[in-house]
Amino acid sequence: MILSLPARIALRLLTALVLAFLYVPLIVIAILSFSTSRTFTWPPPGYTTKWWHRAFHAPGPRDALLTSVKVALLATLIALVLGSLASYAVNRFKFFGRDSISLLIVLPIALPGIVTGVALNAAFREMGFDFGYITVVIAHATFCIVVVFNNVVARLRRLAPNVDEASADLGADVFQTFRYVTFPLIRSALVAGGLLAFALSFDEIVVTTFTAGPGMETLPQWIFNNIFRPNQLPTVNVVAVVVITLSIIPVWVAQRLSADPVALRSEAG
């Protein structure tokens, strides 16, 4: 479809406004992390790196960062195993209730976080679970599975439907076909899904609040708990920049892995 010149200009202006709305506040936070002021003073009266030094040596954000990384890694590992198996079963086999199972797998990411958090909190209490690392990892895995499932099932749908049959005709069993044919073809989708799942788990705060145990604090929770404390505000700005950076990197890598190779070559050219 060919757009007129006024339509193209309007579309570009609208795109610029949306991007500015999303990213200008992030840029402001990054600049304020170097401000000499302890408040949200704009423009900054001066610049310093002392808040960065304090943030990296403070036990609170460092421990919270370690907790977030541990939870995200475990949730991502569970999501990779269960999400890839579910996507393979849904795509390769026909059975009663397949569409219903696909809907149930995708549903957790469509529900509001507070609904998921309350439901999981009630379920864990009913089953007698002690709230802590395990409950948070299970809670994060419920929506991380969706990301892996969507990435892998999309890649499987793009593969030739007779690949498995050709492998079987050459004498390979089911496991050999998966190891030598299917897995290499979906490997980049698995990596992309894992990176997105890690970023999603790393940033989660609503579900974590309802499933974390006493004394357990992830990095997003630490930011929320300290943003209203004037003495901690400069450190919060630094930690927020770190969270933004650690979230953008896996998302960008996942986007590159999931992109169409032909589009990437034309973009590079």
pLDDT > 50? residue 268: no
Burial (Cβ within 10 Å: 0-12, 13-18, ≥19) of residue 224: middle
Are 91 and 157 a contacting pair, CB within 8 Å?
Answer: yes
Q: At what angle do helices 233-258 and 183-203 cross, to 10 degrees?
A: 160
- HEC string of 193-222 equals HHHHHHHHHHHCCHHHHHHCCCCCCCHHHH
Q: Among 24-38, 114-128, 164-178, whose mean pLDDT is lowest? A: 164-178
Residue 19 pLDDT grade (very low, low, confident, very high; cuts 50, 70, 90): confident
pLDDT > 80? residue 232: no
pLDDT > 50? residue 262: no
Task: Tell me the helix, strand and coil percentages in the chain, rounded to 5.
Answer: 80, 0, 20
Q: Among 62-71, 138-147, 223-232, whose mean pLDDT is lowest? A: 223-232
**Domains of the chain and any CATH numbers:** 48-268 (1.10.3720.10)
Report d(CA 139, CA 30) in Å as an integer: 31
| Token pair of 245 as six digits | 């950076």
Report d(CA 33, CA 235) in Å as an integer: 7
Place of tokens 């590079």: 268
Residue 35 pLDDT grade (very low, low, confident, very high; cuts 50, 70, 90): confident
The DSSP line for 120-176 is HHHHHHHHTPPPSHHHHHHHHHHHHHHHHHHHHHHHHHHS-TTHHHHHHHTT--HHH
